[in-house]
Amino acid sequence: MSVGEHQLFREALANVVDWSMPQFQADAEKRDAYQAIFKPDPSLKLSPKQSYEYSSYYWCRRLEVVFDRLENIRRMMGRFPSKKKDEHKSVLLQEWIVYNYEMYTIVYQSILDITLLLVNTIFVMGNPYKKCDYRTVYDNTRIDGTGVRRILEKLSKTTSKYREGKNLLVHRGQRVKLPLETETLDAIDITNMAIKLGMDVDYIKESLLEFLSIHTRKQLLAVMEKECEEIESQIEELFDELLPYYRMMRSFTIGAGTLAPPQP
């Protein structure tokens, strides 16, 4: 089951559509404001209930977008640029693989961050977005007696493999290490250096290129596919846990402003 097919996502979407679309259709000038479905805007004049529904849908939707991106990255990884467009395809191939894998690690790591924001919203913790770190959400007493902490622990462990690499890439410009066999990494490096130094690379183009395009892609895609299945299963488990609390919180009559989206 995908994130978008889960009952939590379906109910969150339906509840937002109930009040947003009539206003959207009634006044064209409000269309920018009702992009709130896709972009949080604390200035919107929503009722407490609408604020809760809109924020809950927004973070569910962000998770769905993330999984769509991960799928697109895996698809792009297997569709190398046309050989006709660049005679130095060996170099382009390496950069293509590394670039897509680096994007994959960044997007994959973001799943935990978005999940924390969703939990913060569902349980009305009231933490500003910038303060929704793992420890703040994990220690909040509003999730006492639920299975949320256990799932957060699993998500943290699952995404931790890319935390250091993503931080080094984003903040220091260092390359993310590919999870490949040493022989494969050596072949990529040798190919790249030979071409940069202007060496006779006919053998490399014909032999190593075939090796890289088939062997490397299969290795990486197998790793990525397994990781995506693992974390999507954990998100589905979290959604199962969140659904009854989402329904309960919507049924409460809460004072004005209590459920307003936190300031970014």
Arithmetic mean of pLDDT, 3-7: 90
Give the model's pLDDT for residue 223: 86
Arithmetic mean of pLDDT, 218-242: 92
| Domains in the chain: boundaries | 66-251
Q: Which of 3-12, 203-212, 234-243 has the lowest mean pLDDT?
A: 203-212
Report which of residues 217 and 69 the model is more confident about.
69
Arithmetic mean of pLDDT, 201-224: 66
In angstroms, the CA 53 to CA 252 distance is 12
Asked whether the predicted pLDDT for residue 11 surpasses 50, the reply is: yes
Contacts of 196 (CB under 8 A, 6+ apart): 91
Quote the distance between the C-alpha of residue 167 and its chain's center.
Answer: 16
Query: Would you state the torsion angle of the CA atoms of residues 77, 83, 85, 87, taken in this order, to the nearest 10 degrees?
Result: 120
The pLDDT-based confidence of 241 (bands split at 50, 70, 90) is very high
57, 13 Cβ separation under 8 angstroms: yes
* 137, two tokens: 């959400």
Q: Each residue of 86-125: pLDDT tens digit?
A: 555 544 566 777 778 888 888 998 999 999 999 999 999 9
Give me Rg for the CA atoms of the chain: 23
Closest CA to 9 of 233, 262, 240: 240
Asked whether the predicted pLDDT for residue 36 surpasses 60, the reply is: no
DSSP 10-77: HHHHHHHHHHHHHHHHH-GGGTTGGGGGTS--TTS---HHHHHHHHHHHHHHHHHHHHHHHHHHHHHH
Q: Each residue of 52-92: pLDDT tens digit?
A: 888 899 999 999 999 999 999 998 887 766 554 555 554 45
Percentage of residues in the chain with pLDDT exceeding 90? 35
Arithmetic mean of pLDDT, 145-165: 88
Q: Which of 60-64, 76-80, 150-154, 225-229 has the lowest mean pLDDT?
A: 76-80
Report which of residues 200 and 100 the model is more confident about.
100
* 52, two tokens: 């809760």
Report pTM: 0.75
Enumerate helices (H) and strands (E) in the chain, giving the number of each: 10, 0
Asked whether the predicted pLDDT for residue 187 surpasses 80, the reply is: no
29, 90 Cβ separation under 8 angstroms: no
The pLDDT-based confidence of 48 (bands split at 50, 70, 90) is confident
Give the model's pLDDT for residue 264: 39
Arithmetic mean of pLDDT, 198-215: 59
